[in-house]
Amino acid sequence: MKTNEEIKEEILNEAKRIGLWKQIKEDFFVPKINDPALNSKLELFFNYPGVWAIINHRFANRLYNKGFTRIARVIMGLTQFFCNMDIHPAATIGRRVFIDHGIGVVIGETAIVEDDVLIYQGVTLGGVSLNKGKRHPTIKANSVIGSGAKVLGNITIGKNGKIGANSVVICDVPKNSTAVGVPAKIIKRENKNEKLDHSDLPDINKEMFEYLLKRVALLEHAIKDYDGIDLSNEDHDLECIYKKFIGAMNSIKKTDESE
């Protein structure tokens, strides 16, 4: 298994081999594959800040690695201002990486993003340590990071990994796996050829509440059958409380719609 340093070196050598302009050409072509909303080449210049952030990073990263760290930081500082994304110039980013919409994306200094990774808005590839060295995640090839997800620390998202929206990932995710939740849990394995369909992801909290409610109901029935205890009055009170709760939620919804 390759170390992070070997992965980084491989990505940098590949970038040198194919050249800067070929990489940029690929960056412009990637939205056609990943975004059905793209209707014309003109839109790339005005509606795809994620593309421009990656392209600017291509220049800044080369300058940073050659020792021109201040100029590189200035380039990415301007990129942050215009694109609303914070990408450190030292971060290692492979080929055909696409940041869709992109607003609020943060990629830390020692993060490594391999080829063909798809990142949605609000994603953070952040660190949890103040120590020098590798403290940001490694995202392996063909992975998808859902909007608002936080991938924190020196961890690895395996090849073809998928992270659900708003998940907080603090542990390694195996290859071909899907992780969701806070903290994220593995819900699918060996799903290499599946797309990340958020409508098909389970609601972990909902499933746990359903389990607890059914367990409580089972215990109530057991107590009633064994001791002959009548809980009908308590059931009526709980139903009244539940109806009040639903009524309050509906009133909030109506207020929001009227505004």
Amino acid at residue number 215: R
Confidence grade of residue 254 (pLDDT, cut at 50, 70, 90): low
Phi, psi of 87, rounded to the nearest 5 degrees: -120, 120
- Distance set, CA 160 to CA 133, 189, 194 (Å): 26, 10, 9
If one compares 203 and 158, the residue with the highest pLDDT of the two is 158
If one compares 205 and 212, the residue with the highest pLDDT of the two is 212
Output the pLDDT for position 181. 87
Per-residue model confidence as pLDDT tens digits over 213-223: 777 777 777 77
| 20-34 vs 49-65: helix crossing angle, rounded to 10 | 160
Q: How far apart, in whole angstroms, are the C-alpha atoms of residue 45 and residue 49?
A: 8
Output the pLDDT for position 187. 83
Output the pLDDT for position 147. 92
* CATH number for the domain running over 4-200: 2.160.10.10
Q: How far apart, in whole angstroms, are the C-alpha atoms of residue 178 and residue 180?
A: 7
Reply yes or no on whether the pLDDT at 188 is more than 90. Answer: no
Output the pLDDT for position 194. 59
Confidence grade of residue 229 (pLDDT, cut at 50, 70, 90): low
**HEC-encoded secondary structure of 125-146:** EECCCCCCCCCCCEECCCCEEC
Output the pLDDT for position 243. 77
Cβ-in-10-Å burial (0-12, 13-18, 19+) of 3 comes to exposed
Q: What is the DSSP letter of 36?
A: T
Q: What is the widest separation between alpha-carbon atoms in the chain?
A: 81
* Contact predicate 162/28, CB 8 Å: no
Domain range list for the chain: 4-200, 204-258
DSSP string, 57-112: HHHHHHHHHTT-HHHHHHHHHHHHHHH--EE-TTSEE-TT-EESS-TT-EE-TT-E
Question: Which pTM value belongs to this model?
Answer: 0.75
Edge-to-edge order in the sheet of strand 112-113: 92-93, 112-113, 138-139, 156-157
Of 47-51, 91-95, 100-104, 202-206, the least confident: 202-206
Per-residue model confidence as pLDDT tens digits over 110-160: 999 999 999 999 999 999 888 888 999 999 999 999 999 999 999 999 999
Q: Which tokens in the block code for residue 256?
A: 């929001």
Nearest alpha carbon to residue 43 among 26, 31, 56: 31
Mean pLDDT of 224-251: 71
Output the pLDDT for position 168. 94
Q: Which tokens in the block code for residue 253?
A: 């919804």
